[in-house]
Structure 1
Amino acid sequence: MTDLDTPAAAPPRAGALRHAAPALLGYAGVRALGLITLALWSAANGKSAHTLLTARWDSLWYTRVAAFGYGWEVRLPNGDVHSNLAFFPLLPWLERLVAALSPLSYADAGLLVGTLASPAAAWGIFAVADHVYGRRAGVCAALVWAVLPVGIVQSMAYSESLFTALAAWSLYAVLAGRWLTAGLLASLAGLTRPVGAAVVAALWVAAITSFVRERSTPPARGAFGWRRALGMLLAPLGAAGYVLWVGHRTGRGPLGYLDVQGQWGNGFDGGYAFARFVGDKFTSFPSALAGVGLTVGVALVIWLYVSCVRQGQPLPLLVYSGIVTALALCASGYFGSKPRLLLPAFPLLLPLALALARLRTSRSAAILGAVAAASAVYGAFWLNGSGPP
């Protein structure tokens, strides 16, 4: 691996694109399969696939922010207030920009942003895995991310693809010792989703570790120390800026954003509410099957993280995926959304990518193809039903 204290030499852009081409072409194929399946399923149900991708759940909140700004809220019968201040601003800003520069609506602008961000995320995932484990593992990592059961979200007007792209490329920049790039991308990730704090933490841990290591090396090795320090300063500006602005707007200071999330039923309780939710599934036979599935899913996520540690993944990746996983599993609300909230935790997939990379190409392609088909069917079923938000 490249030393974190010195920037790594990068291939020319055209060469980098050719290098990543198998991953990007495979990713495009998986996403095309998912969209075609969704279109056919939706048509059979008399629904519009376009509407399902652009005007469901969170995407409606983002387009309202883009159209009218912040301040819109919904008051529920129990007195709770759902404010659009819960949604970070980068995606609606981009929707507003694209709509201003084109004839697209805000919803279609969001879909375009997601359409462009998802292959950028796949490329970033490839770049990280390629940097750490080699090209073959990189291709498999991008494809495993594509075939996740909730992969259809990558093609929606949601912020997951945008955030994952920024996070993956920021982590790649950290691994390559490009601190200014890493800090800027981390700041943008912090403007996209609350979990942007995980990118900031990964960068800070890597920077502090490199500083400690640098103390035992000749002074020349610290030539890029100012870039590292500036990257550390840049990284938290996005998230901190928005949280402080919300606090000022609500009059609650730094706690304002937590209050907004609390009204939505979101909070961090160490997983107590989620454990109760899973436990309640075992009170009757039909729902017990769902309880078993949830238990197996959580165990799989924990096993994957332990595998990442045992494989000796770089510390920034472990910090990032650990925080994303902890925030997803230990949040107190929206239990059905947890698979989607785990979508940015792509380092968890590297053990699976390595296992696939060790197989013959025909066998790994067959496995990925079968999972891609199942994921496409699940995504179409999910979006055409009530589904989790």
Structure 2
Amino acid sequence: MASTERAVDLDQPGSAASAPTVPATPTSAFSARAGRFLAAAAPSLVWLAVRLVGVLTLGWLSALNGDQLLTRLSVWDGQWLLAIAGGGYDGVPLGLVDAFGHRNPTTPLAFFPGYPAAVGVLRFVTGSDLELAGLVVSLLAGLVLAQGLARLGELVPGGSRWSGLLLVGLVAAAPMGVVWSMTYSEGLFCACAVWALVGVLRRDWVLAGWCTALAGTVRPTAAALLLAVGIPLLVAAVGRRDGWRPWVGGLLAPLGLLGYLLYVASRTGSLTGWFDLQRRGWNSKFDGGAATLAFTRDTLATGRSVLEVLTVAALAGGLVLLAVCWRQCRREGLPWPLLVYAAGVLVMDLGSNGLMNSKARLLLPAFTLLVPAALALAKRRPSTAVAVLVAVTLASAWFGGYAVTGWSYAI
């Protein structure tokens, strides 16, 4: 029996394709533009929301401790970085000293120049004071970091826009996330690092090389990033993939870190000049983790302070997350450069001596450890994911506020 149905000829008059289109109204056009803007700004808005809770909590705790919020946002290392931004390495006030109360002309060289340079440029352009310029640089770096994290969360296998936004929230609410809002260099470093890793995943080798070079001017943790970016660059170059770009990226990547270490060597007269400054001024050297193990043992045995106990918990959490990343890399295709980078940061943090109170802060650059957590949360109901994010935001806000106001020593 022949069917009485017939296909619709979309080219004939009166068909759906030839029906007159309804012109867009100004209201609908505005709504479309607003929707696109909100979609693009979503990572920044998530970041700002989490950090606003942290800053407000810090302000509340500062008032309870008889201090001012702006003063707390630029303490300890922040003072050094702002002083270098204001007067260069040779113009740092004599009142700033190392962990042992000492100071010589080369002591300020222990701090990398990238963040002070950014603050100095912004101060020159805007005419603002140093503290405000430093806080604005940290804010802008956080927004760039948020956009990179969202992109990273989309690029990994199983990723999505939602998992990227969750990753933004989790990183913003890391245990020592208060530092993202202070005049510290972690935010600027991680902004460079995340886009370097995005460049690797997209095989945009020039972007990866440039961002790694910039990161190398900001923090010594760039050594871990250089390893994670350098291996894929080498593989691509040797395999003759993507033409000249891996070669250019490979040439760019080490310039920042090696360039500054060589500069310090020229100022101190020793190729190990920067490492010598760290050892003499802050007792910071690589000891294979012996000091961290001793700190963990003593802290768990005595429970001397909330911050030290929670620092040990954060370090243990980092190791657990590294194991999860390893499993995800083997079974679910998590890109191995993310694992290499996180492992490098952990080795540098756990394997070094120095100020044990800064261990939790030094974990911040290992943000790729949180990628599996973001992917797992994205598979849950949105209400569950949001509840978890709210909980960690509140915990981070208190912990960071306590570390900066209730704790008497540097973080």
TM range (shorter): 0.7 to 0.9
Contact 1:52 1:383 in 2 (8 A): yes
Instruction: Report the Cα offset of residue 53 of structure 1.
Output: 0.7
1:326 alignment partner, one of 347, 358, 362 = 347
- Pairs aligned (count): 365
SS of equivalent to 2:272: helix
- 1:51 and 2:71 are equivalent in the alignment: yes
Contact 1:282 1:288 in 2 (8 A): no
Structure 1 unmatched runs, 5+: 1-13, 216-221
Distance 1:109 1:80 in 2: 26
- Cα distance, 1:131–1:365 mapped onto 2, change above 3 Å: same
Q: What is the aligned partner in structure 1 of residue 368 from structure 2? A: 347
Higher alpha-carbon deviation: 262-271 or 37-46: 37-46
Distance 1:237 1:228 in 2: 15
Structure 2 unmatched runs, 5+: 1-33
Instruction: Report the Cα offset of residue 188 of structure 1.
Output: 0.4
Instruction: Report the Cα offset of residue 227 of structure 1.
Output: 1.0
Distance 1:178 1:377 in 2: 39
Q: Any idea what the Cα deviations from partners look like across 1:170-198, whole Å, max 9, x if unmatched?
A: 11011111111111111000000011122
Q: What is the aligned partner in structure 2 of residue 67 from structure 1? A: 86
Q: What is the aligned partner in structure 2 of residue 169 from structure 1? A: 195
Q: What is the aligned partner in structure 2 of residue 374 from structure 1? A: 395
Q: What is the aligned partner in structure 2 of residue 153 from structure 1? A: 179
2:385 alignment partner, one of 357, 364, 374 = 364
Matches within 5 A, 1:222-233: 222=241, 224-233=242-251
- Cα distance, 1:290–1:357 mapped onto 2, change above 3 Å: same
AA aligned opposite 2:227? A
% identity of equivalent residues: 39
TM-score by length of 1: 0.87
- Cα distance, 1:179–1:295 mapped onto 2, change above 3 Å: same
1:258 alignment partner, one of 272, 275, 282 = 275
Instruction: Report the Cα offset of residue 300 of structure 1.
Output: 2.1
Structure ID, larger Rg? 2
2:150 alignment partner, one of 110, 115, 126 = 126
Q: What is the aligned partner in structure 2 of residue 338 from structure 1? A: 359
Higher alpha-carbon deviation: 318-327 or 37-46: 37-46
Higher helix share: 1
1:200 alignment partner, one of 218, 223, 226 = 226
AA aligned opposite 2:89? Y
AA aligned opposite 2:64? A
Higher alpha-carbon deviation: 36-45 or 71-80: 71-80
Distance 1:293 1:97 in 2: 37
Distance 1:273 1:169 in 2: 33
Q: What is the aligned partner in structure 1 of residue 325 from structure 2? A: 308
Contact 1:321 1:345 in 2 (8 A): yes
Contact 2:192 2:212 in 1 (8 A): yes
Distance 1:289 1:35 in 2: 20
SS of equivalent to 2:304: helix
Contact 2:171 2:370 in 1 (8 A): yes
Distance 2:307 2:88 in 1: 39
Higher alpha-carbon deviation: 262-271 or 33-42: 33-42
Contact 1:20 1:139 in 2 (8 A): no
SS of equivalent to 2:288: coil
- Cα distance, 1:76–1:239 mapped onto 2, change above 3 Å: closer
TM-score by length of 2: 0.83
AA aligned opposite 1:269? D
Q: Any idea what the Cα deviations from partners look like across 1:287-308, whole Å, max 9, x if unmatched?
A: 3987765554333211211111
Higher alpha-carbon deviation: 164-173 or 309-318: 309-318
SS of equivalent to 1:268: coil
Instruction: Report the Cα offset of residue 99 of structure 1.
Output: 1.4
Contact 1:20 1:126 in 2 (8 A): no
AA aligned opposite 2:57? T
AA aligned opposite 1:113? V
Contact 1:281 1:290 in 2 (8 A): no
- 1:383 and 2:404 are equivalent in the alignment: yes
- 1:40 and 2:71 are equivalent in the alignment: no
Distance 2:72 2:381 in 1: 38
Q: What is the aligned partner in structure 2 of residue 87 from structure 1? A: 111
